[in-house]
Structure 1
Amino acid sequence: MFELYNRPFLQEIVDKRLPVKFSENPDKDEGYLHDEYLFLGEKGYVFHEDTLTMTPPKG
């Protein structure tokens, strides 16, 4: 399911360089939320634990 739905949606976010706000800490999740966190991290996004936000790389 992640590959079919989440990955294409997240790739659009990455292509548009948009920030992502999580409802809970994705690093502590064991499901798709953690997969989203890892996908964005591989794309250079930075996680800000204080705001539960991931922001695109600068540049």
Structure 2
Amino acid sequence: MRKTCVGCYYYRYISRSTLLWGCHYCLDTGEPRGCDSENCDKKLLKVKKEGGLSHG
């Protein structure tokens, strides 16, 4: 995992069976990220809330 992706809402499992991870920005928003992963400006931090996680 890239250090820049740690804690990002969009960075999740692609396949749990093979433990592949990746950016889901395009899948979640319907828009291409528009930046390379080293300089990503789309990071959305996960925020812990009572009873689960949410993004904010």
Task: Give the TM interval when normalised to the shorter protein.
Answer: under 0.3
Q: Which structure ranks higher in relative contact order (CA pairs < 8 Å, sequence separation ≥ 6)? A: 1
Structure whose residues are more often strand by fraction: 2
Larger radius of gyration: 2
TM-score with structure 1 length normalisation?
0.24
TM-score when scaled to structure 2?
0.25
The structure where helix makes up a greater share of residues is: 1
